[in-house]
Structure 1
Amino acid sequence: MKIESQDKRIDELLKGNIFLIPRFQREYSWEPDHITAFWFDIIENMAEPYFIGAMVVYKVERSTLAVVDGQQRLTTITILLCAIREAFKDIGRPDLAEGLQAYIEQKDRENKTVYILKTESSFPFLQEEILKSDAAEVPFNIGREEEAIQKAYEIFKSNIAEEVSGYLENKEQTADDNQNDAIAWLSKLRDTVFDLNLILVTLDNEDDAYLIFETLNTRGKDLALADLLRNHFAKLIRPASEVDQVKEKWSKVHDTIKSSPVQLDADTFIVHSWQSRYDFVTKAKAFQKVKDRVNKKNAKSHLDRFVSDAEQWRSIFDTEYLWTKSEKEAARSLKALRTFKVVQPAPGILSLVRAYRDKVIKYKTLRNALSNIEKFHFAFNAVTSSRSSGGISGMYSSFGRQIFDCSNSREAANIIAGLVSKLQEREVSGSEFDAGFEQVIFTNKHSSQKALVQYILRKVAIFESQPFIGETDDLTIEHLLPQSSSKSDEDHLVLGQIGNLILVDQKTNEMLSTNNFKEKKGILESRGYKLPELFEGVEKLNEEVIRENTQRISNLAREEIWKV
């Protein structure tokens, strides 16, 4: 492997070179905080040498270099230069703008304009809207990457305009002097950017670039697991036509996950997908595991599996995605797990959903399996906040791999039965459950568990055949003993207990208002709501009755509703 290393200034780097952003590079992703930090670094080092790190490239053809490492910095610097160019034009110095533009675009041998940055993902937006000095002529679409580029451009232009206006509005001297000072500052800013120093590492070919790319980014934190994996697939699957399989398919994985209204992480998806099929791995060691198993012969099938898994995995957390009305019970179990903030079952659930979508198991089998997982984690996580030593994550990963390997519904049913047995073995004790259940509360002062409380009340109401008025998801939580009766924070710990709460429709909620318990009882009964037998003959609700009702519901929850 031949590696050349040179110290370069930005102006030396840009003059005479074209930089290609290869397909395995991630999209431009600097956020406003990164842009602002970079801006202040430039301002604080005006007219002084400033080192910005290394940039790794490989030779594509004469004067064209493909960027392996440093794309984000190079793109940001180019955007900043374009913003300075526009400021020169705004202040009446088109000659200086043209001089700067000579570093942003060049003429090739056929006298055609060639921009210094050639990108695939943001083309033609970057070239037409930012790099081009004149008005855009080619239509383009705006995606996430284009939005990030546009935001960076706007931040730089705004910061420059603010500085320039400070010079132009100086009332201590003439307008001509102000103009000259503003131009001098802009020129100084331009020169500071041109004088930025870096180390340019040049390789001879793409294969060496993949190796360096991988080595650089597995040693540091520059790249996410998803970026490294995309690079690995790009190395193994070379384009056989104009359609780049890796780019298109990995973009689909990325878009599936990132377009979810629920915040999801691509790296976590990769770990869960891999755990559900092959090994129980941590995020830190996942890439090496994938790299060891995925080779040129099987790369395409693995890539296709990641594409299909991305949709199934998203549907575990985004329960509005892919699930139909006839599958609402499965979606509700998944939504409940989100309410519990539980992620350990994800690899196992992914295999279950995959088996269902692949028609290995029927919906009833999927629904029942998810229901048991939901019941277990309600007690283990939502109510008692029990901690696992890591065995539960390993158990679900092992379960997922077994489901992935099975070939028929009977085999899958046996594996699921084995999981249910393991969940039953880990069941929390009755006393531990009851103590935790009493701590699940909701009041205006203690609202962090509101979603969990709504979930519990809905399940209990359905189990007790509460005659709902309206849709159950639109019901509100009513305190039978009003919160206004509280005299201290300790009172809220009782008033907020499940034993003092009921779900009611909006109209009934308005009728109940802050009435006393006897009045509320009459209104609820007139509206068709059923109250527990425990409340018969009770005209004044107190702490003792509330705690007794909480315990009653806890017993019901533990022994019947959420019994695995």
Structure 2
Amino acid sequence: MQASETKLQQIIEGTKQYVVPLFQRPYSWKKSEWQALWNDLVELCKADNPRPHFMGSIVTMPTISVPEGVSKYLLIDGQQRLTTVFILLSALRDAAKQSQEELAAEIDNTILVNPYKKGSDYYKLQPTQVDRVAFHQIIHLQDQVNESNVLECYRFFEKKIRQSKLSLELQRIKRVICSNLSLVSVVLSSDDDPYLVFESLNAKGRPLTQADLIRNYFFMRIHTDSQESVYAKYWQPMQDLLNDNLTEFIRHYLTKTGVEVKQNEIYFEIKDRISNNDALSYLKNLCIYSEYYSRLLNPEREPKELVRKYLCRINRLEVATVYPFLLNCYDDWMKNIITEQEFVSVLQVLENFILRRFVCNIQTRGLNRIFALLYSQVRKGADIASDNFVERLKLTLQNRDYPKDREFRARLVDVKLYGGNRSEKCKLMLESIEEFFRHKEQVPFEGLSIEHIMPQTLNEVWKENLGEDWSITHELLRHTIGNLTLTAYNPELSNDTFEQKKEHFKNSHLELNKYFQSKTFWLRKDIEERSEHLADIALQIWNYFGEESAQLSQSGSLKGTIPKTLFCFGEECVVKSWRDVVETTLNKIADLEPDSFKEIMEQFPRFIGWDEKSFRSTRKLHNGAFIEVNLSAQDIYMFCMKAIETAELSIEDWSVETQEFNKKLVQKPLV
């Protein structure tokens, strides 16, 4: 068995063929893997001097071919990534045929096929029988009748290349793929059993990780006489402590210096750093930080109770991008550069920053860079012995899309807080509000769950009580904070009437649930009033930490406003009514995120569907769906917000300018 680091170009160029064995599963990569690869390529293409980009390992084995045939290799492991690259290059070739025929021919003849060979030897890659026909049709640019995962992959990259033509050169994309994508190539000998190797890689064992490569590189630079003791003292403890998180720890450790390190750059980045340092000293320091990292992942390892509490809260927000910054802060605390209380304050500031952005639906895509640079920016020009680290942190984050009070409050009263990864953040917020009341007998939160006052599924009694527009009220407000509370009796309450739920809440020890005793009904205005009430409390818990808080205002009504311009995901559209706003917004979402559009239809059947007869007054979208337009301006605005949230698009990229007020209703900090 031989293993070597090599560029993708050396794998795919030349007269050869990779054959996927029968025991391999069919092609199974999906949009998430395609998108990750495309994102990496875009970043490499935009870099002035792109570095090697690690794709993982590929395991092959030479196999027998007839004398006149091409050299054949069984593709034991790595077929998913290699198949994806061939499909991507096929899409690139087809895009180049329109204007760059020479580039298209180069991709075809040097990469995709063996142009001077006949029959099956013509193809550089032979997938499993399940995928072979679809793959051959893509290679030959033939129309495909049957849907397949291979075809979906081709369409994905074809669309991405078409959309990027203005910003990315086709030739540069091809050069980056061939010259900057790197693999560890493992070539088996004829004595090895390929099935056993495959089984050990994919069932009994694990594929080669970047941490494995890094370990090997470290110990190549440590004297053989010391390797065993160094391994036992430094590497093995890290491995035992972090297990599968070891590679990600090393990425965050590298990122803490202020350089954002991508998933597939870890090995090359640490190679560069070790080559300029003493390997043993570097390993010792890595081992120290691995203990900090283990406490970030598992706060129960932290002996200090208050620190442990706020580490748990940070983890519930599910933003691991803060870890590089927190590694630095942990080290400062351990070295007495900052106090325990200052470290707790740092955690509170981060929670405030992350939670406000979450409520305002500010995309997390920029957080990697923000937190990679944050420590050096806060420390820049500071006297470490005397400077107030926490205050400098606040000032720095204040200018990083940190929502002011007005925006935070406006979004908190109507944002969707329940469902998917939102529910844990919602529970954290409700627990925090309950703690704010400072009840002398604090109820433990572990056994509590989120309860909808107006149920998720309405029976006839609830529909009658909510009134004629019950469906609009239900779809817009059921997951808002005003309709949510905590209880240990969630299964018992279920679809009970409001009167029945009030009886349960009479016995509740939660201050949150005493609110309902003064209420006779639970209608739309009641939910909205409670949302405003809880929003006022939230503003005190996660108070604005900037130098000057924006003036508070109640959520304004849109009644009587006339939209003038819609700024919608990169396009500026002239609109004359709120009906134009919702039509344009939903058309854009359907084009950008067709899968999410289906989810919007499922979640909001009162607003959108395929049957025109289900609605009072409609407009037809480009994809044939109908939207309800007999709605108030406020309801249209709220529906657009929730549709954008459901599609996981950025609220920052959507705003309306009204004629009457001559201002934008933007989801950004309002000055």
Which category of TM-score, normalised to the shorter sequence, fits these structures? 0.5 to 0.7
Paired residues of 2:253 and 2:324 also in contact (CA < 8 A): yes
1:438 corresponds to 2:413: yes
- Per the alignment, residue 389 of structure 2 pairs with 415
User: Is 2:72 the partner of 1:51?
Assistant: yes
Of 479, 484, 505 in structure 1, the residue corresponding to residue 488 of structure 2 is 505
Match of 1:521 in 2: 502
- C-alpha distance 496-378 of structure 1, shift in aligned 2 (>3 A): same
| Alignment partner, residue 306 of structure 1 | 286
Match of 2:359 among 356, 369, 383: 383
Amino acid at match of 2:225: A
Map 1:265-344 to 2 at 5 A: 266-277=246-257, 279-283=259-263, 287-295=267-275, 298-320=278-300, 322-324=301-303, 326-327=304-305, 329-344=306-321
Q: Distance in 2 between matches of 1:20 and 1:47?
A: 21
**How many Å apart are 1:462 and its aligned residue?**
0.6
Q: Tell me how far 1:494 sits from its aligned partner.
A: 1.4
Matches for 1:247-266 after TM superposition, within 5 Å: 249-258=234-243, 264=245, 266=246
Report if aligned partners of 2:506, 2:517 keep a CA contact under 8 Å in 1. no
Q: Which runs of 5+ in 1 are unaligned?
A: 1-18, 23-32, 56-67, 84-146, 154-221
Aligned equivalents of 1:275, 1:442: Cα separation in 2:
31
From the superposition, tell whether residues 375 and 249 of structure 1 become closer, same or farther in structure 2 (CA, over 3 Å): same
From 216, 222, 234, the counterpart of 2:219:
234
Alignment partners' CA distance in 1, 2:512 and 2:75: 71
Cα deviation, 1:164-212, whole Å, max 9, x if unaligned, reads xxxxxxxxxxxxxxxxxxxxxxxxxxxxxxxxxxxxxxxxxxxxxxxxx
Q: Distance in 1 between matches of 2:493 and 2:516?
A: 17
CA positional deviation for 1:453: 1.6
Kindly tell me the number of residue pairs found equivalent between the two proteins.
Answer: 377
Q: How many angstroms apart in 2 are the aligned matches of 1:46 and 1:82?
A: 18
Instruction: Give the match for residue 429 of structure 1.
Output: 404
> Is the contact made by 1:237 and 1:246 (CA closer than 8 Å) also made in structure 2?
no
Deviates more, 1:398-407 or 1:416-425: 398-407
Give the drift of 1:300: 1.1
Corresponding position of 2:140: none
- Alignment deviations for residues 401-430 of structure 1 (CA, whole Å, 9 cap, x no partner): 57899999745x623321122223443133
SS of aligned partner of 1:477: strand
Letter of the structure 2 residue corresponding to residue 52 of structure 1: Y
**Is the 2:453–2:498 Cα contact (8 Å) retained in structure 1?**
yes
What CA distance in whole angstroms lies between the structure 1 residues aligned with 2:190 and 2:543? 55
1:478 maps onto 2:451 in alignment? yes
CA distance 1:72–1:503, change in 2 (3 Å): farther
Aligned residue number for residue 158 of structure 1: none
Cα distance in 1 for partners of 2:234, 2:190 equals 25
The answer to whether the 8 Å contact 2:321/2:368 transfers is yes
Write the mapping of 1:118-129 to structure 2, written as runs, cut at 5 A. none
Deviation at 1:224, TM superposition (A): 5.2
Whole-Å separation in 2 of the counterparts to 1:290 and 1:150? 27
Which residue of 1 is the match for residue 638 of structure 2? none
2:349 corresponds to which of 363, 366, 372: 372
Q: Per-residue CA shift, 1:290-342, capped at 9, x if unaligned? A: 4444347622111111122223223223334x223x43x43343333333332
Change (3 A) 1:499 1:303: same
Match of 1:210 in 2: none
**Letter matched to residue 474 of structure 2:** D
Question: Within 2, Cα distance between the matches of 1:433 and 1:360?
Answer: 34
**8 Å Cα contact 1:466-1:530 kept in structure 2:** yes
| Percent identical residues | 19
Contact 2:21 2:74 in 1 (8 A): no
Task: Tell me the residue number matched to 1:539.
Answer: 520
1:251-282: per-residue Cα shift (whole Å, max 9, x none)? 443443225xxxx4x44322321222364444
Structure-2 separation of matches of 1:285 and 1:291: 10
TM-score (norm 1): 0.55
* CA deviations over 1:353-379 (Å, ceiling 9, x no partner): 222334443322211111111111100
The 8 Å contact of residues 517 and 540 in structure 1, kept in 2 or not, is answered as: yes
Indicate how the Cα distance of structure 1 residues 287 and 521 shifts in structure 2: closer, same or farther if over 3 A, else same. same
Deviations for 1:377-407, whole angstroms, at most 9, x for unmatched residues?
Answer: 1001x211213684x5444333435789999
RMSD, aligned CA? 4.6
Deviation at 1:490, TM superposition (A): 5.3
Give the 3-state SS of the residue equivalent to 1:52 in structure 2: strand
> Residue 321 of structure 2: SS of its match in structure 1?
coil
CA-to-aligned-CA distance 1:77-121 (integer Å, 9 cap, x gap): 3364799xxxxxxxxxxxxxxxxxxxxxxxxxxxxxxxxxxxxxx
Check 1:434–1:151 CA distance in 2 against 1; reply closer, same or farther (3 A cut). same
Q: Is the 8 A contact 2:256 2:324 kept in 1?
A: yes
Shift of 1:503: 1.2
**Distance across 2 between alignment mates of 1:376 and 1:414:** 18
Shifted more, 329-338 versus 280-289: the winner is: 280-289
Conservation of the 8 A alpha-carbon contact between 1:440 and 1:449: no
CA distance in 2, matches of 1:528, 1:251: 48
Q: TM-score, normalised by structure 2?
A: 0.47
Q: Following the alignment from structure 2 to structure 1, what is the Cα–Cα distance between the partners of residues 453 and 439?
A: 16
1:152 Cα offset (Å): 5.9
**Structure 2: how far apart are the matches of 1:403 and 1:235?**
37
1:36 aligns with 2:23: yes
Determine if contact 1:438/1:550 at 8 Å carries over to the other structure.
yes
Contact between 1:276 and 1:347, CA under 8 Å: does it hold in 2? yes
Residue among 439, 449, 452 paired with 2:422: 449
Displacement, 1:459?
Answer: 0.6
Bigger radius of gyration among the two? 1
Residues in 1 aligned to 2:404 and 2:341: alpha-carbon distance in whole angstroms: 29
For 1:35 and 1:76, the matched residues in 2 are separated by 19
Deviations 1:447-473 (A, max 9, x none): 552212211110111112357675212
Q: Deviations over 1:104-146 (max 9, x none)?
A: xxxxxxxxxxxxxxxxxxxxxxxxxxxxxxxxxxxxxxxxxxx
Q: Measure, in 1, the Cα distance between the counterparts of 2:529 and 2:410.
A: 13
Partner of 1:183: none
Cα distance, 1:409–1:82 mapped onto 2, change above 3 Å: closer
Matched, 1:78 2:78: no
For 1:38 and 1:258, how far apart are their aligned partners in 2?
27
Amino acid in the other structure paired with 1:78? D
Hey, what's the Cα distance between the residues in 2 that align with 1:267 and 1:383?
A: 31
Please state whether the residue corresponding to 2:23 is helix, strand or coil: helix
Distance 1:553 1:474 in 2: 22
Residues in 2 aligned to 1:305 and 1:35: alpha-carbon distance in whole angstroms: 46
Deviations 1:40-70 (A, max 9, x none): 999xx89868633899xxxxxxxxxxxx965
